Structure 1
Amino acid sequence: MIAPRYLKTSAGRKLAYHKTDGSAPGVVFLGGFKSDMDGTKAVHLQEWARRTGRAFLRFDYSGHGQSSEKFTDGCIGDWAADAAAVLEALTDGPQILVGSSMGGWISLLTARAMPGRVAGLVTIAAAPDFTEDSMWAGFDADQKAELMEKGQVALPSEYGEPYIITRKLIEDGRNQLVLRDPLELPFPVRFLQGTSDEDVDKSVALRLLDHAQGPDMRLTLVDGADHRFSDPDCLGLIEASVEEVIARAAGGTD
């Protein structure tokens, strides 16, 4: 396995990344909550980029994968800042952002903060505002009390060890919400969502499509696809969506 390179950010964090040189606009993959850049979708897209000669970048947020810091010290604002730092330091010109789950939220924050650096967007089971609308809203009274008094609460996970949800994550998340204020996406956007996703309900994708404003937005629902969205058909749809967004961004047609 090839060792990653590292970017030292102005906040002092060391972010691990893999970069493939190629044609513009480049593609940047933004991973999910407690995920890393070695996941199936990220690696598949890197192989696609090498095959097609497209510039590509995948990286680990702080507290994730091979980057510095503890996961429990981070929050949405920190990880959005990591994405902005990577975009500024390691890419040139507008990029196509591919955001998976939490990465979908991060990509929307990036598009709002740096619209000139985004040429298009593909989200996969995007989870905007999940700290408030899914986690906090789903906590019972005892969990809310434990979070506020002890600073954290443990949630079971189907993907391994329990998730430790911190008070910092919840409170910072309220400063990063994207579904309460106007959300302009003035570039080609493709939202992808599985109907059998048990982590992000399809209603979230419908709410995002209804809330965002842009000249070229489409939502594709895949019957039976789960949150991983990583079987061969789903991976092929991700590729096709990225290629369509690239063509649209260049002024082409389907």
Structure 2
Amino acid sequence: MGAAKFLDSPQGRRIAYHRSEGKGPWVVFLGGLKSDMEGTKAVHLEAWAKARGLAFLRFDYSGHGESSGKFEDGCIGDWHLDTVAAISELTEGPIAPVGSSMGGWQALLLAKAMPERVHGMVTIAAAPDFTEDGYWANFTPMQKLELEKVGHVELPSDYMEPYIITKRMIEDGREQLVLREPLELPFPVRCLQGTADTAVSTETALRLMDHATCDDMRLNLVKDADHRFSDGPCLQMIEEAVQDVLGEA
């Protein structure tokens, strides 16, 4: 697969990436919180895109994977700027972001930042506004006090070591919310969501569907699929969704 290459962002962060040339639009994989570009979905989609001669990009946000920085120092806005830098420097022309979990939020932020570039979008268990509606809304009074006094709280995870959620992440998240104001998505959008997902609820997927303004937006609820959404049938659904928004299906 080869070693990762690195991009120095305008913010001084070193972003690791894998990029393969091909016909556009560029398929850009946007990973989830604390995941990296070596995950099953990212690597599978890259191989699929290469087999079809499609241009493809996957990368690590700062504080993730091989990129510089510590996770605890980052926030949604930082990772948005990483995404904008990677796409601006490493792709050209139309793009088709594929956002998983927090990457779904990043895809929506991207659509607001550079709508003229987005040809279509696929989300997988998209988690827009989760710092506010998931973390902050469910913090106990003791956790909110700890956040204020210590600057962070630790939250258990079903998938890895505890998440360190900082005061900065919560406060920055409020500046990145996408479900509180009009959300125009003037391109095809395909949303995939498992009903057994314990990290992102089907209610979140339905809220996004109800909130966004889009002439061609579809939600596929997959019974018993979990948050990873990475077994064989799920990976095939992702392929089909990308084909669909590219107009290749």
TM-score tier after normalising by the smaller chain length: over 0.9
CA deviation profile, 1:40-70 (whole Å, cap 9, x unmatched): 0000000001110000000000000000011
Other-structure match for 2:83: 83
- Between 98-107 and 1-10, report the one with greater CA deviation: 1-10
Matching of residues 39-50 of structure 1 within 5 Å: 39-50=39-50
Whole-angstrom CA distance in 1 between matches of 2:203 and 2:239: 24
Other-structure match for 1:125: 125
Whole-angstrom CA distance in 1 between matches of 2:208 and 2:154: 28
Give the count of matched residue pairs.
Answer: 249
TM-score by length of 2: 0.99
| Shift of residue 224, structure 1, vs aligned partner | 0.6
Whole-angstrom CA distance in 2 between matches of 1:185 and 1:157: 31
CA deviation profile, 1:230-254 (whole Å, cap 9, x unmatched): 0100000000000010007xxxxx5
Other-structure match for 1:29: 29
Other-structure match for 2:2: 2
Runs of 4+ in 1 over 4 A off after TM superposition: none
One-letter amino acid of the structure 1 residue matched with residue 237 of structure 2: L
Whole-angstrom CA distance in 2 between matches of 1:93 and 1:116: 9
Q: Secondary structure at the match of 1:45?
A: helix
Whole-angstrom CA distance in 1 between matches of 2:231 and 2:121: 21
Q: Secondary structure at the match of 2:247?
A: helix
Whole-angstrom CA distance in 1 between matches of 2:216 and 2:183: 14
Whole-angstrom CA distance in 1 between matches of 2:242 and 2:140: 40
Matching of residues 97-116 of structure 1 within 5 Å: 97-116=97-116
| Shift of residue 160, structure 1, vs aligned partner | 2.1
Q: Secondary structure at the match of 1:18?
A: strand
Q: Secondary structure at the match of 2:120?
A: strand
Q: Secondary structure at the match of 1:119?
A: coil
Whole-angstrom CA distance in 2 between matches of 1:195 and 1:119: 28
Whole-angstrom CA distance in 1 between matches of 2:106 and 2:24: 22
Other-structure match for 1:251: none
| Shift of residue 84, structure 1, vs aligned partner | 0.4
CA deviation profile, 1:163-213 (whole Å, cap 9, x unmatched): 100000000000000000000000000010000100000000000000000
Other-structure match for 1:92: 92
One-letter amino acid of the structure 2 residue matched with residue 207 of structure 1: R
Q: Secondary structure at the match of 1:26?
A: strand
One-letter amino acid of the structure 2 residue matched with residue 110 of structure 1: L
Whole-angstrom CA distance in 1 between matches of 2:126 and 2:169: 18
Other-structure match for 1:52: 52
CA deviation profile, 1:69-100 (whole Å, cap 9, x unmatched): 11111000000000000110000011000000
TM-score by length of 1: 0.97
Q: Secondary structure at the match of 1:190?
A: strand
One-letter amino acid of the structure 2 residue matched with residue 115 of structure 1: P
Q: Secondary structure at the match of 2:108?
A: helix
1:71 and 2:96 matched: no
RMSD: 0.8
Matching of residues 68-217 of structure 1 within 5 Å: 68-217=68-217
Whole-angstrom CA distance in 2 between matches of 1:162 and 1:210: 32
Percent identity, aligned pairs only, is: 63
Other-structure match for 2:246: 246
Whole-angstrom CA distance in 2 between matches of 1:64 and 1:137: 25
Structure 1, unaligned stretches of length 5 or more? 249-253
Whole-angstrom CA distance in 1 between matches of 2:231 and 2:178: 29
Whole-angstrom CA distance in 2 between matches of 1:4 and 1:159: 25
Whole-angstrom CA distance in 1 between matches of 2:103 and 2:43: 15
